[in-house]
Amino acid sequence: MSRRTFPVIPGFGLTLGYTLVYLSLLVLIPLGALFIYATQLTWAEFWAIVTSARVLAALKLSFGTALLAALLNGAIGTLLAWALVRYTFSGRTIIEAMIDLPFALPTAVAGIALTALYAPTGPIGQFATALGFKIAYTPLGITLALTFVTLPFVVRTLQPVLADIPREVEEAAACLGAKPLQVFRYVLLPALLPAWLTGFALAFARGVGEYGSVIFIAGNMPMKTEILPLLIMVQLDQYNYAGATAIGVLMLVVSFILLLLINMLQRRIARA
Amino acid sequence: MSSATLTASASNAARRGNAWGRRLLIGGAWLVFVLFLLLPLLIVVSQALQKGFAPFFAAIVEPDALAALRLTLLAVGISVPLNLVFGVAAAWCVSKYEFRGKSILVTLIDLPFSVSPVIAGLVYVLLFGAQGFFGPWLREHDIQIIFAVPGIVLATLFVTVPFVARELIPLMQEQGTTEEEAARLLGANGWQMFWHITLPNIKWGLIYGVVLCTARAMGEFGAVSVVSGHIRGYTNTLPLHVEILHNEYNHIAAFSVASLLLLMALFILLLKQWSESRINRLKASAGEE
């Protein structure tokens, strides 16, 4: 109704103008500068940088560990959301409040804390040492750090959806003879999947770009445990702006394509 | 037997079957909590206090640490109010009007969340750095942005742009425009309408967004690290100071400063919990009406 009539509420020009100017100055123009700077490179130069062995190794590591961490969060987050929404148990309030700790805690603090825990002599790392493997300074350590910093995403997107599914729907399915797994597969999963994918995509995007928590636990060995954002940092330290720009553009383009794919998958599920 | 009791017994049986599942899930939640959230927290404090309180306090009141604290507070103090005003303006135009390209605008507002913080720092280096687009001009006029305080503030601003807007947009969309329209019809001018109708309605959502924005501004690492140049006592924020101490193998000092940040994070969580419970209470009372 109010959408067709001329709005009686003032401020459209002011707020839209301010929003556009602020966003342009702070975000859009600077990001545009990245792409303009990249055009100073020829296509061959750009291609040579982004297909060099070190960049490809970092690309695989960054996207691989972010994907693993997002999947791990998909499982852990579903478990946490389920327990927090469906059950009342002692400690529930504390867990509920502490879920957001990874968002409130500076990533550098998370980084040194996780490194201390998972280092070969650390409280958890020593068990791994006894079993003959390492957690810190390996891709496994990077995955754990990413899982920590992106922990709240899946929980927080699933919780409201889960709370909105009436218990009666599941009970009706059970009364009609569905086994618990069938209830999950045919009743809960379709309702939860879009939100789950949103949380997954958020965690994945954050994980690909994450820097602070990872560099402490990664060990940062070229070709082995060097993530893409760190590689940009290394190029900048050597005043190789062209190299840093090319890697930055590569990262943005690959993330954009992957998020687009997740988005399309989500639409397809919503339509089905 | 009536169908009601039949249903009840069947669902009771289902619940009994679920008792084990319930225990398993709650146990799992506790395990995740202890492993992922509690242990990292405890190790920060225990490492900081391993030699008692004296070295802990010494690391915190040391001049470089205090300078880092001041810079962190400055970055928070500038970026949070600016992004607060932006958030209100953005949420206002997105939620109160219909216009073409709105969904694109919402996507653009969220853009900084899907850009790596290191890239956020990089773009400012490309603009204002020595070899950047405005580098020569800035040098002529003796203005330094990169490796100086303005760069740190800019980088912090970039990564915290969406927080307030993101909280307010769904809230204000849900509230609609009827109350504001009524105020206008009763003769309120734009500002009166905003102060007496809109602001009280969005107050808790606003506080929630500010809390999240503050947390990120305080803890930002990657973006700030790129533009900082790590000059002690001048362009070091608290998280960067933690990194330097850690790289120098000064573990007690690193974890002491980290504890300070942890304390600030826990305080922020408390504020968040409080504003969230107020929002839920408002929603519940709105639902009863």
Share of chain B above pLDDT 70, in %: 93
- Answer whether residue A1 shows pLDDT above 50: no
Q: Is residue A19 part of a domain?
A: no
Residues of chain A positioned with their CB less than 8 A from the CB of B21: 180
Rounded distance, CA A112 to CA A216, Å? 6
pLDDT, tens digit, for every residue of A92-137?
A: 989 999 999 999 999 999 999 999 999 999 999 999 999 989 999 9
Give yes or no for a contact between B93 and B168, defined as CB atoms under 8 angstroms apart: no
Say what percent of chain A tops pLDDT 90.
Answer: 64
The overall average pLDDT reported for chain A is 90
Among B26, B37, B215, the residue with its CB nearest the CB of A89 is: B26
B114 vs A255: CB contact, 8 Å cut-off?
yes
Nearest residue to B57 via CA among B260, B272, B274 = B260
Using CA coordinates, name the residue in chain A closest to B112. A27
Which of A9, A226, A263 should be substituted to probe chain B, the one whose Cβ sees the most B Cβ atoms within 10 Å? A9
For residue A170, pLDDT over 70 is answered with: yes
Helix (H, G, I), strand (E, B) or coil at A44: helix
Q: Which domain holds residue A94?
A: 38-271
DSSP A129-156: HHHT---TTSHHHHHHHHHHHTHHHHHH
Query: Is A15 within the bounds of a domain?
Result: no
Nearest Cα residue in chain A from B3: A175
Query: Is A27 part of any domain?
Result: no
A interface mutation test: which of B113, B118, B273 has the most A CBs within 10 A?
Answer: B118
Query: Hey, what amino acid is at A142?
Result: I
* Nearest-angstrom CA–CA distance, B204 and B175: 13
Closest by Cβ to B123, choosing from A9, A31, A233: A31
Instruction: Tell me if B226 sits within 8 A of B125, measured CB to CB.
Output: yes
Q: Which residues on B lie below 8 Å from A19 (Cβ)?
A: 86, 89-90, 93, 105, 109
Assess if residue A28 is contained within a domain.
Answer: no
CATH number of the domain encompassing residue A159: 1.10.3720.10
Cβ–Cβ < 8 Å for B182, A51: no
Residue A17 is assigned to a structural domain of this protein? no
The closest CB to that of A252, out of B119, B161, B181, belongs to: B119
Q: Which one of B23, B24, B32, B127 would you mutate to disrupt binding with A, by most A Cβ within 10 Å of its Cβ?
A: B32
Contact B93 A110 (CB under 8 A): no
**Chain-chain contact of A80 with B215 (C-beta, under 8 angstroms):** no
**Residue A26 placed within a domain:** no
pLDDT tens per residue, range A42-82: 999 999 999 999 999 999 999 999 999 999 999 999 999 99
pLDDT given for residue B1 in this prediction? 41
Domain count, chain A: 1
Q: Which residues in A lie closer than 8 A to residue B98 (C-beta atoms)?
A: 3
Determine the Cα–Cα distance for residues A45 and B61; give it in Å rounded to an integer: 50
Q: Select the more confidently predicted residue: A245 or B15.
A: A245
Q: What is the ipTM of this complex?
A: 0.89
Largest CA distance in chain A: 72
Q: What is the pLDDT of residue A260?
A: 85
Closest A-chain CA to B245 = A112
A253 in a domain, yes or no? yes
A90 falls within a domain: yes
Residue A255: in which H helix or E strand, if any?
A: helix A241-271
- Pick out chain B residues at pLDDT < 50: 1-3, 6
Predicted local distance difference test score (pLDDT) of residue A246: 95
- Residue A207 C-beta-side C-alpha neighbours within 13 Å: 34
Contact A203, A154 (CB under 8 A): yes
For residue A4, the chain B residue with the least C-alpha distance is B98
Cβ contacts of A232 on chain B, cutoff 8 Å: 116, 118-119, 122
Q: Nearest C-alpha of chain A: how many angstroms from B217?
A: 9
- Asked if A23 and B28 come within 8 Å (Cβ–Cβ), the reply is no
Contacts of B240 in chain A (CB under 8 A): 108
For B38, nearest residue in chain A (alpha carbons):
A98
Closest residue in B to A252 (Cα) is B115
In this prediction, residue A219 carries a pLDDT of 87
Q: How many CA atoms lie within 13 A of A205 on its CB side?
A: 25
Residues of A whose CB is below 8 A from B96: 7, 9, 11-12
